[in-house]
Amino acid sequence: MFPTKTDKARDELQGGQRTLSQRERALLLMADGRRSLSDFSPLFSTRDEAEQAIQTLVQRGYLQTPKVAVAPGKAVPPTPAPAQPAPLPASEPIQIATSADTFDGKRSLATTRMFLFDICERMFVRRDPKFALQMRDALREARDREAMLTIAALMLTEIEKAAGPERAESLRERIDKLLPPAELVH
């Protein structure tokens, strides 16, 4: 299953309209017809939970699954499951540039987006290239503060797993310093 967004999903992702949870919005951001169920599974506790969420979004009209035309009598070979990323070695330290500590520019979505791209490159490209690609694609599609927060939350969850809650919290604080206040964005 390689779900894609519907017009209803695109409307949901535009600024000002919030009817879905943050996790459901993250699914919509990532649904591009190239990602399968296994790509969405890291957002959930179990693969079944991810599958149920996708099915619910399909039933509610936010996602659609492309129909594959098959000639009569022809079998479609099963697609092999992608390999799971290797766990992070415990001895490999995770480092983040501290340039955001001295940031004294204006708060903006553009600055936040660039910081999130930077985190993605430094934290995930070598350790989990597939996740890094998903986050970069999602950042390119993010058009508002809520979408940025959704992507940041996904990245921070993975950072917390790999580098601990202190590192995730310090990055969360930096992101909060870069994002414009919610009342100025709407």
> For residue range 109-138, what is the model confidence (pLDDT) as tens digits?
888 889 999 999 999 989 889 989 989 988
pLDDT value, residue 117: 92
Mean pLDDT of the chain: 76
Q: How confident is the model at residue 92 (pLDDT cuts 50, 70, 90)?
A: very low
Classify the phi-psi angles of 73: left when phi > 0, otherwise alpha if psi is within -120 to 50, otherwise beta: left
pLDDT value, residue 142: 83
> For residue range 4-43, what is the model confidence (pLDDT) as tens digits?
888 888 887 776 667 888 778 878 878 888 877 777 777 7
pLDDT value, residue 59: 92
Q: How far apart are CA 96 and CA 174, in angstroms?
A: 12
Q: How far apart are CA 40 and CA 37, in angstroms?
A: 5
> For residue range 167-176, what is the model confidence (pLDDT) as tens digits?
989 999 998 8
Q: 3-state DSSP call for residue 1?
A: coil
Q: 3-state DSSP call for residue 162?
A: helix
Name 147's Cβ contacts closer than 8 Å, sequence gap at least 6.
Answer: 13, 25, 29, 138, 141
> For residue range 135-173, what is the model confidence (pLDDT) as tens digits?
998 888 888 888 888 889 889 988 988 888 899 899 999
pTM for the structure as a whole? 0.50
Name 105's Cβ contacts closer than 8 Å, sequence gap at least 6.
Answer: 111
- 34-38, 45-49, 68-72, 123-127, range with the lowest pLDDT: 68-72
Q: What are phi and psi of 4, to 5 degrees?
A: -125, 160
pLDDT value, residue 61: 92
